[in-house]
Chains A and B, each alone.
Chain A
Amino acid sequence: AQSVTQLGSHVSVSEGALVLLRCNYSSSVPPYLFWYVQYPNQGLQLLLKYTSAATLVKGINGFEAEFKKSETSFHLTKPSAHMSDAAEYFCAVSRNSGNTPLVFGKGTRLSVIA
């Protein structure tokens, strides 16, 4: 079975500060890993995905994540937070890319303080 643990249900950073959202996964097979962002009352937007190619994945809006197999982690980072980054972020894992459903973490709400 696959699972995802997101450490910290709420993270607060100052505008311009580093954003670090933590995600650890459990998977019996090589995982596909995703980060999605959800703005209030909206669906999910894909930020980035890891599908066994480069371990450092760059996504949209300046976000990136690094796959570390030894640590079973896929943390999301952004060097400088912007007010518009305030949202809910979900880490997800799947066995395959597209044909199997995503298993989501509980989400981390990011607040950005001016």
Chain B
Amino acid sequence: GAVVSQHPSRVICKSGTSVKIECRSLDFQATTMFWYRQFPKQSLMLMATSNEGSKATYEQGVEKDKFLINHASLTLSTLTVTSAHPEDSSFYICSASGTATGNTIYFGEGSWLTVV
């Protein structure tokens, strides 16, 4: 299957700072990327959908000014958590799809964010 890579896999940041998570499609052009958040032992909650070159579409209840999503190229999307607080600590997972994947959605490895 296609490969989606996230970086960093784990990050610890201080409360009030910002942190950026990258999601890259390594062997295909990702026209659409999705960002999910997963709390321990729970399911995935969709945060936003981004199409390359367009503004992300956020799900209801997700603060777009806090969770900045950029999808500036067909292989890279970034999620920036601004002014992070301890309650933002979570597992963030990106996924991507494109015509080359048969429109199947592939997931990254996930990124653990801990805000202290």
Which residues does A use to contact B, with CB under 8 Å? Answer: 34, 36, 41-46, 49, 90, 94, 96-107
Max count, chain A CB within 10 A of own CB: residue among B4, B97, B98, B102:
B97
Q: Output the nearest chain B residue to A105 by Cβ-Cβ distance.
A: B43
Contact of A101 with B103 at beta-carbon distance under 8 Å, contacts A41-B110, A42-B109, A42-B110 already known: no
Q: How many angstroms between the C-alpha atoms of A100 and B102 in the bound complex?
A: 13
Interchain CA distance A104-B46 in the complex, whole Å: 9
Closest chain A CB from B104 CB (angstroms): 6
B42-81 vs A: 1/0 string, CB under 8 Å?
1110100100000000000000000000000000000000
Q: Which residues of A contact B6 (CB under 8 A)?
A: 43
CA distance A47 to B6 in the complex (A): 20
B96 CB → nearest A CB, Å: 9
B105 within 8 A of A: yes
Q: Contact residue range for chain B?
A: 20 to 34
Please indicate the chain B residues that have their CB under 8 angstroms from the CB of A45 in the complex.
Answer: 107
A98 touches B104 (CB 8 A): yes
- Contact between chains at B103 and A99 (CB < 8 Å): yes
CB distance from A45 to the nearest CB of B (A): 7
Contact partners of A107 in chain B: CB under 8 A: 42-43
Query: Min CB distance, A105 to chain B, in Å?
Result: 7
Contact yes or no, A101 B93, CB < 8 A: no
Query: 10 tightest A-B contacts by CB?
Result: A98-B103, A98-B97, A44-B107, A97-B103, A43-B109, A43-B107, A43-B110, A106-B43, A104-B43, A104-B44
